[in-house]
Structure 1
Amino acid sequence: MSKQIITLTVNGTDLAFEPTTQAYNKYINELNMDDKVAPAHNYLNRVVTADSKDALAKLLNLTGAGLKIAAKVNEAFVPELEISIKN
């Protein structure tokens, strides 16, 4: 399976990410009611490409940036599913 590269432009800066199912699952498992920011930052640092690491670090200093960026990465990475209930 080839790697999926997701490129986002955030405040004029291109960031490239290589999410994996393992990294995504770890992120979801780390989330809890009292902590969402640290898991988002950790996840992004795990999946960001080496070339984008410094730019990401600067953006993560902005309030709420980690959660918004993680959401966009996951929006592109996680497949859409059509689910219905059968009676």
Structure 2
Amino acid sequence: MNKTITLEVNGTDLTFEMTPDAYNKFINEMQPTNKVAPAHSLLMRTVTDDTKDDLKDLLKKPGAALELVGSLVSEYTPDLSIIVGKSKKSPNE
């Protein structure tokens, strides 16, 4: 699912073009000891050209990449209702 997402950050609009490929690449790049680089890469890969300079300025702030990518991924991924437990009908019935 391709989705255009605009995040307002400190009064500045940043627009991102999210795609399944960009999201999957981000997830595949994540490692237990490496989270900032994949976040930075996803943001830079998906930001639109007209807001790229504003993003670069924001990414100079400590922790900005992780906060931004958290909001971006949260907006991109669907809300799923998942219930863990015994199914209502057992397979033997």
Normalised by the shorter chain, which TM-score bucket? over 0.9
Alignment match, 2:90: none
Q: Which amino acid aligns with 2:9?
A: V
Q: Which runs of 5+ in 2 are unaligned?
A: 87-93
Q: State the TM-score, normalized to the length of structure 2.
A: 0.87
Where does structure 1 differ by over 6 angstroms across 4 or more consecutive aligned residues? Answer: none
2:28 aligns with 29
Q: CA deviation at 1:85?
A: 2.5
Q: State the identity %.
A: 49
Indicate the residue corresponding to 1:77 in structure 2.
76
1:43-68, CA deviations, whole angstroms, 9 ceiling, x for partnerless residues?
00011011111110110000000000
TM-score, structure 1 length as denominator?
0.92
Larger radius of gyration: 2
Which secondary structure state, in structure 1, belongs to the residue aligned with residue 15 of structure 2? strand
SS of the residue corresponding to residue 13 of structure 2 reads: strand
Whole-Å Cα distance in 1 between the matches of residues 3 and 26 of structure 2? 17
Shift of 1:83: 1.1
**In structure 2, the residue corresponding to 1:8 is in which secondary structure?**
strand
Question: Residue 84 of structure 1: CA displacement?
Answer: 1.5
